[in-house]
Structure 1
Amino acid sequence: MDPRIEERQVRGSDGVTIAARFVTPAKPKAAVLVAPAMGVPQRFYVPLAQWLAEQGMAVATFDYRGMGASRPARLRGFEASILDWARYDAAAMIEELAYRAPEVPLHWIGHSLGGQIPPLVPGHERLDRIVTVACGSGYWRENAPALKRRVWLLWYGAAPLLTPLLGYFPGKRLNMVGDLPRGVIEQWRRWCLDPEYAVGAEPGVRERFAAVRTPVVSLSFSDDDFMSARNTESLHGFYANAPRTLLRIRPEEAGLARIGHFGFFRAEHEQALWQRYLLPALQGAEPEMAATAQASTTTRP
């Protein structure tokens, strides 16, 4: 029997609704919430969600408020922040998915920003496993070399000049991230200009990261044009009291020419990446991937 697909609106505790999509097999053996990257709509993750459902998992994807299918007709003046995305949107999704798939392990897959925010999400204690993909600190001086000039222009030119003028960030027209609410881009800028990212920019965030006890597996890629190895190590270092496994994967080790920041989620990489790396990470196995990943480390507090 094919998994059941349902698109619906999910309401956060503050009353704002967001667009979500659920793919549910008849008898799920686990549940997975896919948290998107900054500016990436949930439709980008549809192939992965379908594949995970075929493996017997109930899967939910969603768009943060002000983004994708959760974008209002007028973005100018729309109030939202990254903290809102975490404490309202992502928290509501954990609650909804746990309701739909009770009494099974509940996992989180976070792409880039989606892997940065679990400590900020009320209810993250319910998660059995966190898998981050192409995720790290956004501190701009530690970004991959190919990106530094572009992010300098973003943080010192486009964002501070255009956002106050237009009331939102017109990233789509600039081919930078995508259109974002003013509160989101301004908060993200503060984070990316701080050497400790959100941990340094927001009071109490260091303690929230340290409070996480859920096992964390990081899948990062040597050819990621956005996240350097230092970005990845920095962000995951703040999970000071969680068991952590960091895997830096070279494309050639997976039999691929390129992975980059977005390639992991492409359907053609089902066998090379999802089956080989993601599935063992979700199942809590010590995967054979650890033997082939560059600079693999396992840290247990």
Structure 2
Amino acid sequence: MGNNLSDTVTSTDLAISSRGGGQICGTVRVLSDADPRALVVIHPATAVPERLYSGFSDYLAEQGFAVVTYDYRGTGRSGTPKGNRTVRMRDWMDQDVPDVADWAAAQFPGLPRLAVGHSVGAHALALGSGVAGLEGVVSIASHAGVTATVRGMAERAKVWLILSAAGPLASKVLGYMPGSKLGLGEDFPAEAMLEWSRWSKLPGYFFDDPTMRAAERAASVTVPLLSVGFSDDPWATPQQIEAITEHLVAADVERRTYSPADFGVPAIGHMGFFRRGLREGLWPEAVEWLDARLETDKR
């Protein structure tokens, strides 16, 4: 189903059959009157609905990119959290992310391909999921989510309560994580919550889970990556962002940390990059970096 978002951008709904069962639903955006010059897939954060990415996706489409956004299974439009209760966080990373990347590549054959990952979406890319054929990756606020490293005593206590107590208990009782009621975004599958809870207690996050082979996988990634963080993000601190990027030993990694004052806004935090207030300030910097990857590919 297609509909005009504006005079220049058209959207089309997508539905992909997942290799793990169920469907992944999302949206494709393109210019209404011109062929796209490159493809960007936006891989979302945990418990974050696709609609958060709509403004940035419209902006990318206006710059000539074909843009794909979606919800992980058990979130948003991609099935109920209870109906997908056994979907783990690693399943989002190792199944949903490459499923969408492969589908998008098939829909736009011949186009240069890029990706933007937000939080866990960038975790997947850092572990090599969905990176085949990419010219570059922009990683937004992606960090090793260890509760003990959260900045600020009050925020750290809140995160501990949700990830180590209320969230796991509610997930076991209800069969899903009621994120909307516990102040953690949208509802999502129980097993994703329980796996997140386990990783949040490990000093090295999923790098300390031997079943993930995370260090080995990250070391094999060669795609250029721009890692973006924000000075007022209590979760994705520079140290915890580095706890991910330090494992990308074969990739060209550029690190940038911005502050709200850089763009005259009161806050950015963990979610703010994708809010429309940064359209004229921060978004062009991301597009400039993506464009530079395309120019590199031509040389």
TM-score after normalising by structure 2: 0.89
Tell whether 2:194 aligns with 1:186.
yes
**In 2, Cα distance between equivalents of 1:55 and 1:121:** 27
The equivalent position to 2:76 in structure 1, one of 68, 88, 110, is 68
CA contact (8 A) 1:213 1:243 kept: yes
Residue identity matched to 2:216: E
SS in 1 for 2:257: strand
Quote the offset at 1:77 in angstroms: 6.5
1:83 is aligned to 90
Tell whether 2:41 aligns with 1:33.
yes
SS in 2 for 1:70: coil
Kindly report which structure 2 residues correspond to 1:19-58, keeping only aligned pairs within 5 A, or say none.
19-25=25-31, 26-58=34-66
1:136 is aligned to 143
CA contact (8 A) 1:162 1:170 kept: yes
Kindly report which structure 2 residues correspond to 1:1-301, keeping only aligned pairs within 5 A, or say none.
2-25=8-31, 26-72=34-80, 75=82, 78-120=85-127, 122-145=129-152, 146-203=154-211, 204-275=213-284, 277-284=285-292
SS in 2 for 1:281: helix
**In 2, Cα distance between equivalents of 1:253 and 1:176:** 27
Quote the offset at 1:111 in angstroms: 1.1
TM-score after normalising by structure 1: 0.88
Quote the offset at 1:123 in angstroms: 4.1
CA contact (8 A) 2:168 2:193 kept: no
Residue identity matched to 1:142: T
Quote the offset at 1:36 in angstroms: 0.9
CA RMSD of aligned residues (A): 1.8
2:296 is aligned to none
What do the CA deviations read for 1:93-147 (whole angstroms, capped 9, x no partner)? 1112112222222111111111111144544222211101122110111122252
Matched residues, number: 283
Q: What are the ranges of 5 or more consecutive residues in structure 2 without an aligned counterpart? A: 1-6, 294-299
SS in 2 for 1:68: coil
Identity %: 30
CA contact (8 A) 1:76 1:166 kept: no
Consecutive aligned runs of 4 or more in structure 1 exceeding 3 Å deviation: 119-123
